[in-house]
Amino acid sequence: MSGRFITFEGIDGAGKSTHVESVAQHLRQRGAELIQTREPGGTPLAESLRGLFLHQDMDGLTEALLVFAARRDHVQRVIAPALAQGRTVLCDRFTDASFAYQGGGRGMDLQVLATLAQWVQQGREPDLTFWFDVEPAVAAARRAQARDADRLEQLDLDFFERVRAGYQRRAESAPGRIVRIDAGDTIEGVAAQIRAELERRGW
């Protein structure tokens, strides 16, 4: 397998992180050399910015600028070099999250986000994005059982409804790249949906 860039998206509690490792195992069996990473994060600098993002109060524009700064370092130091070496990159969140959370959830101007994305990514986009779609109330119940809430996870269901709608708009704008996964299904059912898409692509 040549290097591919695969991202995993969805509101907090959708269950996407659970399935990153199973995708990694599947692709390794097919001969892929890969790395697993996340956003915000993936480099020492970006991980430091992640801590600020999750725990310090700030407005939507500050959130976006912080995440795109982390993303720039991540792309330069990790993602681009790995792809250039023919490795596959699995990333828990990427730019779709900015359009969903800061664009949909916070109501930021989408053109501003598009400009930031162009500056930071210089045209680089994922080859495939799995969007784990689930009702916000279901996701909230899962989060409550799994962990203490961070700054964003403490926001109300209306916020996450707007985030979900933001993801829906992104999916409609890039139907060849973004694949909706019914994340309300069982873990086994979600895994089957993912395998089916990978097999359809011959991956």
14 is in an annotated binding site: yes
Beta bridge partners of 179: 130
* Residue 3 to residue 33: CA distance in whole angstroms: 8
Helix (H) or strand (E) holding 28: helix 16-29
109 is in an annotated binding site: no
- Are 143 and 153 a contacting pair, CB within 8 Å? yes
103 is in an annotated binding site: no
80 is in an annotated binding site: no
Q: Give the list of residues 6+ apart from residue 6 with CB closer than 8 angstroms, or none.
A: 23, 88, 89, 90, 91, 126, 127, 128, 129, 130
List, as residue ranges, the binding site.
10-17
List, as residue ranges, the binding site for ATP.
10-17
